[in-house]
């Protein structure tokens, strides 16, 4: 049986992104954007009362993007009453405040996206979610884009900070939590490498792990086994396909319920072909993990996994693997002599 944990550790070191507090570059970009926003808002208009990190960086599950376009998620809370302000009108104010020669600003339904350019290519982008403070500590997210009908310009109940807390506290033990985050990163890189469409959001994979991940250790050594943890999680996810009514039809789908407001299914917008594709590719991932775990040679096992995770997954040469085995056997003989 292949010994895969060190290769998963190496893979994780390559693909992981630190959170804002540990990444000076990302922190600087975020701070500059928020300062630009506050400085350029019109006098007498809505003001930013506070901001916060959200998304994968805040949750400690960030991964390096394959296309190099880094995605930063930030929430900005404005001093407006959601019942008295138009959600898209506020987004237009934000867009105008952030328009600059070295970036493009786009109003999207869930956020305002600021693309920073290096030459003519997008270097990184910031998804700025716009919130209004409702009663108490409740937040309302500005939904809608230019040209949306009035019924699609809404303030939706949202709890992004609560979601971050749920993910952060999902596993009580620190080492269990570390494996939980590693497994999420493996799934996200698999998604980036294996899917051409963007329908499967990172948050859906993260929340799938929130619901169904359990720590996995080697029975004999008590060492953490990421291949086993990921294999078990994928098996459980595949077992969650259920007959459901979707768009008025009875169909077989996976649903991933958001554990905070606005609740709902994080995969509800997947088309039927996309849902079928997700199931097929999860089956392929499950089978590849099973084959890799059972494979006696590390090099062959890693080749199997590299086909699912891409070239960043390390594949040792047969010569290096054999040399390591010889060294191990010599050390073992010397220890017992």
Q: For every one of its 337 residues, what pLDDT tens digit does the chain have, with 9 covering 90 and above?
A: 789 999 999 999 999 987 655 577 778 888 999 999 999 999 999 999 999 999 998 899 999 999 888 888 999 999 999 988 999 999 999 999 999 888 899 999 999 999 988 888 888 899 999 999 877 779 999 999 998 888 899 999 999 999 999 999 999 899 999 999 999 999 999 999 999 887 899 999 999 999 999 999 998 899 999 999 999 999 999 999 999 998 899 999 999 999 999 999 999 999 999 999 999 999 999 999 999 999 999 999 999 999 999 999 999 986 566 555 544 444 444 433 3
CB-CB contact of 30 with 128 (8 Å): no
Q: What distance in Å separates the CA atoms of residue 111 and residue 88, rounded to the nearest whole number?
A: 10
> The domain at 5-14+172-317 falls in which architecture?
Orthogonal Bundle (1.10)
- The helix or strand, by DSSP H or E, that contains position 117, with its residue range, turns out to be strand 112-118
CB-CB contact of 80 with 90 (8 Å): yes
Strands 70-78 and 103-107: unpaired
Q: What distance in Å separates the CA atoms of residue 182 and residue 178, rounded to the nearest whole number?
A: 6
Token pair for 181: 């985050």
Where do the H-state alpha helices sit in 108-173? 160-168
> The domain at 17-164 falls in which architecture?
2-Layer Sandwich (3.30)
Q: Which residues does residue 70 pair with via DSSP β-bridges, in sequence order?
A: 124
CB-CB contact of 134 with 82 (8 Å): yes
Q: What distance in Å separates the CA atoms of residue 118 and residue 102, rounded to the nearest whole number?
A: 8
Q: 175-207 burial string, b = 16+ CB within 10 Å, else e?
A: ebbebbbbbbbbbbbbbbbbeeeebbebbbbbb
Token pair for 263: 């609740």
CB-CB contact of 167 with 213 (8 Å): no
| Residue found by looking up tokens 């084959």 in the block | 291
Domains 5-14+172-317 and 17-164 share a fold: no
Whole-prediction pTM: 0.91
Whole-number pLDDT of residue 335: 39
How is the chain split into domains, by residue range? 5-14+172-317, 17-164
Q: Which residues contact 249 (CB under 8 A, 6 or more apart)?
A: none
CB-CB contact of 251 with 272 (8 Å): yes
Token pair for 212: 């169904």
Q: What distance in Å separates the CA atoms of residue 60 and residue 215, rounded to the nearest whole number?
A: 17
Which sign, positive or negative, has the C-alpha torsion 165, 49, 107, 84? Answer: positive
| Residue found by looking up tokens 């554990």 in the block | 259
Peptide bond just before 251 cis, omega within 30 deg: no
Whole-number pLDDT of residue 67: 86
Token pair for 310: 């891409």
Q: What distance in Å separates the CA atoms of residue 29 and residue 9, rounded to the nearest whole number?
A: 29
CB-CB contact of 66 with 192 (8 Å): yes
| Residue found by looking up tokens 């350019």 in the block | 117
């Amino acid at each position: 049986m292949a010994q895969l944990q060190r290769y998963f550790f190496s893979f994780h070191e390559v693909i992981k992104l630190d959170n804002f507090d540990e990444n000076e570059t990302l922190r600087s970009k975020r701070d500059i954007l928020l300062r630009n926003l506050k400085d350029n808002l019109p006098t007498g208009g809505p003001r930013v009362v506070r901001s916060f990190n959200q998304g994968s960086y805040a949750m400690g599950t960030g991964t390096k993007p394959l296309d190099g376009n880094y995605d930063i998620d930030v929430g900005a809370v404005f001093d407006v009453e959601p019942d008295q302000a138009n959600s898209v009108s506020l987004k237009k104010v934000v867009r105008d405040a952030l328009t600059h020669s070295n970036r493009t600003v786009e109003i999207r339904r869930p956020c305002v996206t600021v693309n920073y350019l290096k030459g003519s290519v997008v270097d990184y982008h910031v998804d700025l979610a716009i919130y209004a403070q409702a009663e108490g500590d409740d937040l309302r997210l500005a939904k809608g884009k230019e040209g949306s009908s009035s019924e699609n310009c809404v303030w939706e109940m949202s709890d992004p900070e609560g979601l971050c807390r749920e993910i952060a506290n999902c596993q009580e033990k620190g080492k269990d939590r570390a494996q939980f985050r590693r497994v999420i990163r493996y799934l996200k890189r698999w998604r980036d490498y294996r899917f051409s469409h963007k329908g499967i959001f990172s948050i859906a994979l993260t929340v799938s792990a929130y619901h169904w991940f359990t720590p996995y250790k080697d029975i004999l050594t008590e060492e953490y086994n990421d291949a086993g943890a990921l294999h078990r999680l994928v098996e459980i996810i595949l077992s969650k396909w259920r007959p459901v009514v979707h768009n008025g039809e009875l169909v077989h789908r996976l649903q991933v319920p958001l554990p905070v407001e606005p609740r709902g299914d994080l995969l509800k917008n997947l088309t039927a072909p996309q849902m079928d594709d997700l199931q097929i590719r999860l089956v392929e991932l499950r089978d590849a993990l099973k084959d890799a775990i059972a494979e006696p040679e590390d090099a062959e096992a890693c080749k199997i996994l590299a086909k699912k995770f891409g070239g960043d997954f390390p594949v040792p040469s047969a010569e290096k693997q054999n040399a390591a085995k010889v060294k191990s056997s010599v050390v073992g003989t010397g220890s017992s002599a």
